[in-house]
Copies of this chain bind each other. A is one copy, B any other.
Amino acid sequence: MALNSTRELDELKQKLLRMAAHAETTVRLAIQALVDRDDNLALRVREEEAVLDQFEVQLDEQSIHLLTQGPAPADLRFIAVGMKISHDLERVGDEATTIAGRARALNQEPLLQPRVDIPRMANLALQMLTDAIASFLDRDPGLARAVIPRDKEVDALNKHLNRELANGMVERPATITRALHLIVISKSLERIADHATNIAEEVVYLCEGEDIRHPSERSSEPPPVPATGPHPE
C-alpha cells in the first residue's frame, strides 16, 4: 500500500476512535440527564448525536476513497468492517437520544426509582463498547471474544427491570407512564450492548476469518441458502 494510503488508513483509525469516544460520552450524558433530572443535559444529547451522524458520513467517504486505492486484502477487510462499526456507533447515538427524550419526560413527573441500578447497567454496556472498539483497533480477537458473553448480563438486567416495572404497574397504576419510560430506557441500554456485541463479532471475523456472528445456526456443514422466489411486489 502506498505511503499516502497508510497515512489515510491511520487517519481513519483515529477518526473511528474519536467517534467511539464521542458515542460513549453521548450515552453518559443521557444517563447523567436521567440521574440528575437535568433537562439541559438531555437537550445537549441531540447535538452530540448530530456530531456522531457527521462522523459516520465522513468515515464512509474516507473509507470509500481508501478502497479505491487498492488496499492490501487485510486492510480492505479492516476498512469494510470499519464501515459497519461506524454504523453501529451511529445507532448507539440514536439510543442515547431515545434515553435523553425519555429522561426529559420523566423530569416532568415525581421520581420513580427502580431497584435495578440503571447507571450500573449503562456502565456495563459502555464498557463492552469500549472493549469492542479497542479490540478492533488493536485487532485483538481475544479481547473481542471476551466481550460477547457479557451481553447476557445486560440482557438479564433488562429482563429483571422489565419484570419489576410490569409488576409495579399492576400494583400501582399511577406509575404506569413512568414505568413505560424506564422500560424504553432499559431497552436502549440493552441495544447498546447488542451493538458492542456486533462489533466484537465483526472483530473476531476480521482477525480469524471465522464468522461467529450467528453461532446458533453453525454446524459442520453450513446450511444452504434456499432460493426464494422473486421479490414480491
Interface hits, A39-69 → B, CB 8 Å: 50-51, 53-58, 60, 63-64, 67-68
Separation in Å of the A65 CB from the closest CB of chain B? 10
Which residues of B are found within 8 Å of A227, using beta-carbon distances?
A: 18
When chains A and B are docked, how far (Å) is the Cα of A67 from the Cα of B68? 9
Which residues of B are found within 8 Å of A50, using beta-carbon distances?
A: 214, 216-217, 223
Of all chain B residues, the one with the shortest Cβ separation from A174 is B170
When chains A and B are docked, how far (Å) is the Cα of A213 from the Cα of B91? 12
Complex contact B83–A225 (CB within 8 A): no
**Interface segment, one of A30-38, A72-80, A106-114, A142-150:** A72-80
Contact of A229 among B15, B21, B76, B170 (CB under 8 A): B21
Contact of A211 among B57, B77, B213, B233 (CB under 8 A): B57
Separation in Å of the A209 CB from the closest CB of chain B? 9
Which residues of B are found within 8 Å of A73, using beta-carbon distances?
A: 68
Q: Is A133's CB within 8 Å of the partner chain B? A: yes
Contact of A21 among B133, B211, B228 (CB under 8 A): B228
Complex contact B57–A80 (CB within 8 A): no
When chains A and B are docked, how far (Å) is the Cα of A21 from the Cα of B87? 23
Interface of chain A: mostly helix, strand, loop or mixed: helix
- How many copies of this chain does the complex contain? 2
Complex contact B25–A228 (CB within 8 A): yes
Which residues of B are found within 8 Å of A213, using beta-carbon distances?
A: 53, 56-57
Which residues of B are found within 8 Å of A230, using beta-carbon distances?
A: 17, 21
Q: Is A157's CB within 8 Å of the partner chain B? A: no
Complex contact A63–B84 (CB within 8 A): no
Q: Is A207's CB within 8 Å of the partner chain B? A: no
Q: Is A116's CB within 8 Å of the partner chain B? A: no
When chains A and B are docked, how far (Å) is the Cα of A173 from the Cα of B24? 38
Q: Is A177's CB within 8 Å of the partner chain B? A: yes
When chains A and B are docked, how far (Å) is the Cα of A114 from the Cα of B61? 45
Contacts A166-B176, A169-B176 given; indicate if A80 touches B63 (C-beta within 8 A). Answer: yes
Which residues of B are found within 8 Å of A57, using beta-carbon distances?
A: 211, 213-214
Separation in Å of the A144 CB from the closest CB of chain B? 16
Of all chain B residues, the one with the shortest Cβ separation from A134 is B231
Which residues of B are found within 8 Å of A232, using beta-carbon distances?
A: 21, 24, 130
